[in-house]
Chain A
Amino acid sequence: SQQGEEDPQALSIQEGENATMNCSYKTSINNLQWYRQNSGRGLVHLILIRSNEREKHSGRLRVTLDTSKKSSSLLITASRAADTASYFCATGPSGGYNKLIFGAGTRLAVHP
């Protein structure tokens, strides 16, 4: 069962533009994480936001979390061609186990 659902499924922008991806989930969570995957590779952790946090920044990344709406957004500012990848949200459900459930991802293409 998928917990996180990202939208849009695909996003195409020009270099320098901002990219916003959204994630919705269904159950209570301890934290929400965003990962990046380059084609044919493993996933790399980008940022984690806890359920008691509303916003977090890391470099050009800004993540927000709205637990009342069960949604999160990832903003990449001033995008670069090297940001082209798939981006996944993953939820760590409350209840003790660190079981991460991933959504289907957003495929981002940044054109020079």
Chain B
Amino acid sequence: DGGITQSPKYLFRKEGQNVTLSCEQNLNHDAMYWYRQDPGQGLRLIYYSQIVNDFQKGDIAEGYSVSREKKESFPLTVTSAQKNPTAFYLCASIGTGDGTEAFFGQGTRLTVV
């Protein structure tokens, strides 16, 4: 089955630690995205990538980093510089061409303990 998979579903981080959230897709999509969602809020764009080895900052990139070494994978690292990382993180991918829908993973809920 084609789809987009995020792992883990729940993640706990101690203050001062870096953590990496995984996002893998087998839809052969070029574009991948990371969004952050706070309780009762909408989605804010962290980073996005249109092609392998290239990515751009979204609206709230500070304290986050990404890589895109493979088409299928777009991991997000939440660094210790992110002062308020507790949130729900969503990864999405989109195919090429105008007017295509986004496919979302099931999300990772990150909590700082």
Chain A interface (Cβ < 8 Å from any Cβ of B)? 1-2, 30-31, 33, 35, 40-45, 48, 50, 88, 90, 92, 97-105, 107
How far is B104's CA from A30's CA once the two chains are assembled, in angstroms? 20
Total number of B residues with any Cβ neighbor in A under 8 Å? 30
Contact A40 to B107, CB < 8 A, known contacts A31-B98, A98-B94: yes
How far is B88's CA from A92's CA once the two chains are assembled, in angstroms? 23
B residues near A88, Cβ cutoff 8 Å? 42-43
Minimal beta-carbon separation of B86 from chain A (angstroms): 14
A residues near B100, Cβ cutoff 8 Å? 98
Q: List 12 A-B contacts (CB under 8 A).
A: A2-B42, A31-B98, A31-B99, A42-B105, A43-B43, A43-B92, A45-B101, A45-B102, A97-B31, A99-B45, A105-B41, A105-B42
Q: A-side binding surface: helix, strand, loop or mixed?
A: strand
Contact indicator B59/A1 (Cβ below 8 Å): yes
How far is B59's CA from A76's CA once the two chains are assembled, in angstroms? 31
Minimal beta-carbon separation of A103 from chain B (angstroms): 6
Q: Looking across the interface, which residue of chain B has its beta carbon closest to that of A92? A: B99
B21-63 near A? 1/0 per residue, CB < 8 Å:
0000000000101010000111101001010000000010000
B76-113 near A? 1/0 per residue, CB < 8 Å:
00000000000010101011111111111111010000
Q: Looking across the interface, which residue of chain A has its beta carbon closest to that of B107? A: A42
Contact indicator B101/A48 (Cβ below 8 Å): yes
Contact indicator A30/B48 (Cβ below 8 Å): no
